[in-house]
A and B are shown apart, each in its own frame.
Chain A
């Protein structure tokens, strides 16, 4: 029983972890917290749906097309809407991401608000029994896909020159510009990359949750909780936070009360930020004011 809950918790948690990771990467590299990131996730899932079910492309092609579209959307959003106002007050930038979240959700609702869209599983095989644990192929795919993304990003930030430069650019933009880095171009690229991550996550999750316009908003709160729990802006913290929240929801749901699952994320955010504002892995660091 416990093992099954842990397995399900890890599946849920790795979804939260990837979304939290995408937001953290964007925050670390551009200093912007993207309140519309959940909508990117939703848009990614809908894009795969449109390409595979409406256009009729093969799944792999549809997946690649969706990621490409989202990368473009992310870059265009940075170039057209964020860059011109990025030096304005925080409020304006935050509002811009909020507005774009509502816009994407509104468009999805306008076209598919009355429909229930189901994504067929990526691989259609019967569930796998490991002792008393039941896992579907989709579950395994989610965990594997999410972990692959996480590892790729860690390697990128820790091992590659570009990754290190990128972090430098976010912390001292002027210094980065002096040593010849194209900071705006860099930011645009990062917006594209994180939008692509959201599309991947959306594709992995869509067969499990089904498609609906508000699917991103629910996930966003969980991702915020994961980031907060792990320490805001900490890459490892976001991933660990996501996994822990996924696990805790399942265990608390079974052993304490199923009614707890729903508000767990909110409670984590409020309690952690008030008691432990830097999270479990966070260190005190100055944010852009």
Chain B
């Protein structure tokens, strides 16, 4: 953990942000995350990697839905762009570490491109245009000729580190864990900094934030870019984990999964995003023996959460454990 946090501590933000959180708790959490999969078989280690990927996806989506309060449904588009960008870069000879970062950059660029029209279009219209963007991209993956290889998808080269190939699930998991912790740390600091507060204030009232002399448009775009980048990194990791990406993985079913994770976790809740991702990655795997129920279970869960706990797990716990609220739910207004 210490070697993960040290690069950020040099920026000075880590120490400040974790000032009220005992360092030991963070180290312990990371240690548990790193060692727990040792007790699992290869299959559950694979599922554990999937949990890490969905943690980033959910957090990235939550930045737009929860923190910025925008009905932007382009999350699957960012995920797909990240996966395809990373895969194309790695097939071009890039190692997986810069490859996954290329996924993040691709996602960030996609976020920027979606963010610009989002300055003019709001609410439902934004939802519709972002939905259409996602579907249009899926069409492009299918019809992308030699670049995307159509429906049969792109093969992802194996992950190699210092000349050695990482073939085991636990090896991949540890790599993804490093990426995830890094992304979580940077995001947490960003959200707790003045930038994060500015993003939330843009959600609450654009007029007020403008009155305070804040550049609302800039923060709005920044939120889109950061959301896209996080989801893009997750897309790159997804490509590495699966070894092949196909257009079908970036369709409307994937969107339902993302929606459910964010809403179950709680809009605008950092820790809730993690809970939502872990919970909803595990559920379908345990439902394997009941094929066909996945869609029904996810949508019922989503309906129940929206109806009875619209604040999600994060908000629910946060309100009840008020003493811990400030410690754990940083960034929540």
Indicate whether A and B are direct neighbours in the complex (CB within 8 Å): yes
In the complex the two chains form, what is the Cα distance from A35 to B294 in whole Å? Answer: 20
Using Cβ atoms and an 8 Å threshold, which residues of chain B touch A85? 306-307, 310
Contact A102 B295 (CB under 8 A): yes
Binding site for B on A (CB under 8 A): 27, 33, 35, 80-81, 84-85, 88-92, 94-96, 98-103, 105-107, 109-110, 113, 217, 221, 224-225, 228, 232, 259, 262-263, 265-267, 269-270, 273-274, 277, 287, 289
**In angstroms, how far is the closest chain B Cβ from the Cβ of A16?**
14
Using Cβ atoms and an 8 Å threshold, which residues of chain B touch A98? 256, 259, 302
Asked whether any CB of chain A lies closer than 8 Å to the CB of B71, the reply is yes
Using Cβ atoms and an 8 Å threshold, which residues of chain A touch B66? 91
Given contacts A105-B295, A277-B121, contact A269 B267 (CB under 8 A): no
Using Cβ atoms and an 8 Å threshold, which residues of chain A touch B307? 80-81, 84-85, 96
Using Cβ atoms and an 8 Å threshold, which residues of chain A touch B133? 266, 270
Using Cβ atoms and an 8 Å threshold, which residues of chain A touch B310? 85, 88, 92
Contact B129 A269 (CB under 8 A): yes
Using Cβ atoms and an 8 Å threshold, which residues of chain A touch B292? 106, 109-110, 113
Asked whether any CB of chain A lies closer than 8 Å to the CB of B136, the reply is yes
Given contacts A105-B295, A106-B296, A113-B292, contact A91 B136 (CB under 8 A): no
In the complex the two chains form, what is the Cα distance from A81 to B299 in whole Å? Answer: 13
Using Cβ atoms and an 8 Å threshold, which residues of chain A touch B263? 92, 95
Asked whether any CB of chain A lies closer than 8 Å to the CB of B316, the reply is no
A-B CB proximity, top 7 nearest: A106-B295, A103-B299, A102-B299, A99-B302, A33-B124, A106-B296, A269-B132
In the complex the two chains form, what is the Cα distance from A159 to B319 in whole Å? Answer: 51
A113, closest chain B residue (CB): B292
Known: A221-B131, A274-B129. 14 other contacts (CB 8 A): A88-B310, A92-B306, A94-B127, A95-B259, A98-B259, A99-B299, A106-B292, A106-B295, A106-B296, A113-B292, A224-B132, A259-B143, A266-B139, A277-B120
Given contacts A33-B127, A262-B139, contact A103 B132 (CB under 8 A): no
Select the residue from A88, A90, A228 with max chain B CB neighbours within 10 A. Answer: A90
B305-333 interface bits toward A, Cβ cutoff 8 Å, 1 = contact, 0 = none: 01100100000000000000000000000
Asked whether any CB of chain A lies closer than 8 Å to the CB of B40, the reply is no
In the complex the two chains form, what is the Cα distance from A274 to B294 in whole Å? Answer: 36
Looking at the complex, which one of B71, B124, B296 makes contact with A110 (CB distance below 8 Å)?
A: B296
A-B contact pairs, 6 of them (CB 8 A): A95-B259, A95-B302, A224-B132, A228-B129, A277-B121, A287-B124
Using Cβ atoms and an 8 Å threshold, which residues of chain B touch A221? 131-132, 135
In the complex the two chains form, what is the Cα distance from A35 to B255 in whole Å? Answer: 13
Asked whether any CB of chain A lies closer than 8 Å to the CB of B195, the reply is no
Contact B132 A106 (CB under 8 A): no
Using Cβ atoms and an 8 Å threshold, which residues of chain B touch A105? 295
**In angstroms, how far is the closest chain B Cβ from the Cβ of A170?**
14
Contact B136 A287 (CB under 8 A): no
Given contacts A89-B267, A262-B139, A277-B121, contact A269 B128 (CB under 8 A): yes
**In angstroms, how far is the closest chain A Cβ from the Cβ of B276?**
13
Contact B123 A90 (CB under 8 A): yes
Looking at the complex, which one of A90, A95, A224, A287 makes contact with B128 (CB distance below 8 Å)?
A: A224
Contact A270 B252 (CB under 8 A): no
Given contacts A224-B132, A263-B136, contact A273 B117 (CB under 8 A): yes
Contact B303 A99 (CB under 8 A): yes
**In angstroms, how far is the closest chain B Cβ from the Cβ of A136?**
30
B203, closest chain A residue (CB): A89
Using Cβ atoms and an 8 Å threshold, which residues of chain B touch A103? 295-296, 299-300, 303
Asked whether any CB of chain A lies closer than 8 Å to the CB of B284, the reply is no
Contact B299 A228 (CB under 8 A): no
Given contacts A81-B307, A100-B303, contact A228 B128 (CB under 8 A): yes
Contact A217 B252 (CB under 8 A): yes
Select the residue from A80, A91, A105, A273 with max chain B CB neighbours within 10 A. Answer: A91
Contact A273 B121 (CB under 8 A): yes
Using Cβ atoms and an 8 Å threshold, which residues of chain A touch B135? 221, 266
**In angstroms, how far is the closest chain B Cβ from the Cβ of A164?**
24
Select the residue from A33, A81, A98, A100 with max chain B CB neighbours within 10 A. Answer: A98
Chain B residues 92 to 131 lying within 8 A of chain A, measured CB to CB, are: 117, 120-125, 127-129, 131
Asked whether any CB of chain A lies closer than 8 Å to the CB of B158, the reply is no
Asked whether any CB of chain A lies closer than 8 Å to the CB of B200, the reply is no
Using Cβ atoms and an 8 Å threshold, which residues of chain B touch A91? 65-66, 69, 71, 267
Using Cβ atoms and an 8 Å threshold, which residues of chain A touch B128? 33, 224, 228, 269, 273
Asked whether any CB of chain A lies closer than 8 Å to the CB of B14, the reply is no
In the complex the two chains form, what is the Cα distance from A92 to B120 in whole Å? Answer: 22
B117, closest chain A residue (CB): A274
Using Cβ atoms and an 8 Å threshold, which residues of chain A touch B120? 277
Asked whether any CB of chain A lies closer than 8 Å to the CB of B161, the reply is no
B247-269 interface bits toward A, Cβ cutoff 8 Å, 1 = contact, 0 = none: 00000100010010001000100
Using Cβ atoms and an 8 Å threshold, which residues of chain A touch B124? 27, 33, 90, 94, 232, 287
Using Cβ atoms and an 8 Å threshold, which residues of chain B touch A274? 117, 121, 129
Asked whether any CB of chain A lies closer than 8 Å to the CB of B38, the reply is no
Contact A110 B267 (CB under 8 A): no
Given contacts A105-B295, A217-B252, A266-B135, contact A89 B69 (CB under 8 A): yes
Asked whether any CB of chain A lies closer than 8 Å to the CB of B298, the reply is yes
Contact B123 A287 (CB under 8 A): yes
In the complex the two chains form, what is the Cα distance from A285 to B276 in whole Å? Answer: 37
Using Cβ atoms and an 8 Å threshold, which residues of chain A touch B139? 262-263, 266
Using Cβ atoms and an 8 Å threshold, which residues of chain A touch B282? none
Using Cβ atoms and an 8 Å threshold, which residues of chain B touch A110? 292-293, 295-296
Using Cβ atoms and an 8 Å threshold, which residues of chain B touch A270? 129, 132-133, 136
